Structure 1
């Protein structure tokens, strides 16, 4: 009996869907009306968000903007590379002192061990004095890099905000199609409730 009721409900639902398919298509078509826009807002790749996609479109069509964009990108890459070079040199020296200190502690002769420990400590302290200015300059590079990124982000927002607003105006959010579709859903719900 349950199988018969289920089959009847399925058949009724299928017939109802077929009859209303053309009506539903009309509703969907009306909802899709006026969604074409001259503004090419889209995600250009899986890793690119809508913000960067809009900015990319702006850069693509504006040579001056492209020059600024390339200049900023190169500056950020160069800053990263400069920090990487100095980080490597400093890191290698710091690693050396840690290993040398460990090796000095393993020397059996206490007089020689003390002599080597003091020698390493003196060299390490001299190196720290040399590196202090480098660390300050690296810190300044990092602050500048962050400032460039912040100002650049603000610039990109100013350039892209009008585009998303144009996109929104070209895609008005009307409720007519949604209301019609909800009414169709409600009718189907009522039909399903009457099934026993």
Structure 2
């Protein structure tokens, strides 16, 4: 599974790169274009990796299909069925134990507590197969999320690296500022009276 996902990621990467090069050789992603003030960029949740990846998704039918498939999987609906079922059962045993603790006849109390314990143990056996399936679903979801994150990062590296190469500021303006600062510093020093 992991190897096939990695191979799929690289195949997508190269096909996206090929499509991107064919479609727009010099078109810079909108997320990297100069903007006066982009207040939206400062909102919590905005993310340059996600923004760049979304632009790739918009240009690639393969990525669009993958995102549609990822969005169509909603394990929460299925696991919620079990979680609700399990919560009700656990609540019942907690409540029944509380009621049994209130029984004053110690022999009857112990019999009832044993009945509750035996029933709870049987329930644990009944639910174990489904509980294991829920655990597997949750593990798979985590694995999908991890590989999806890796895919986003791998596919957006070339975009940021191209931006870095194309937009590295020239040194001369910075050197001029340093030169001016040195001149002002000397003037400030010259105007300090002796102390």
TM-score by length of 1: 0.72
SS in 1 for 2:28: coil
Indicate the residue corresponding to 1:187 in structure 2. 183
Aligned length: 159
Indicate the residue corresponding to 2:51 in structure 1. 53
Bigger relative contact order (CA 8 A; separation at least 6): 1
Once the two structures are superposed, residues 31-80 of structure 1 have per-residue CA deviations (whole angstroms, 9 ceiling, x without a partner) of xxxxx9722234864212111111011112333322211211332xx123
Question: 1 CA distance for matches of 2:180 and 2:189?
Answer: 14
Displacement of 1:116: 1.5
Question: 2 CA distance for matches of 1:95 and 1:186?
Answer: 75
Displacement of 1:91: 2.0
CA contact 1:51–1:160 (8 Å) conserved in 2: yes
Indicate the residue corresponding to 2:30 in structure 1. 40
Once the two structures are superposed, residues 93-139 of structure 1 have per-residue CA deviations (whole angstroms, 9 ceiling, x without a partner) of 11221221122011112232122212211211111001111111111
User: Gapped runs of 5+ residues in structure 1?
Assistant: 1-35
Superposed CA RMSD:
2.2
Question: 1 CA distance for matches of 2:92 and 2:158?
Answer: 55
CA contact 1:55–1:160 (8 Å) conserved in 2: yes
User: Gapped runs of 5+ residues in structure 2?
Assistant: 1-25, 33-37
SS in 2 for 1:41: helix
Indicate the residue corresponding to 2:108 in structure 1. 112
Question: 2 CA distance for matches of 1:110 and 1:128?
Answer: 27
The reply to whether residue 145 of structure 1 matches residue 135 of structure 2 is no
Higher-Rg member (1/2)? 1
Indicate the residue corresponding to 1:129 in structure 2. 125
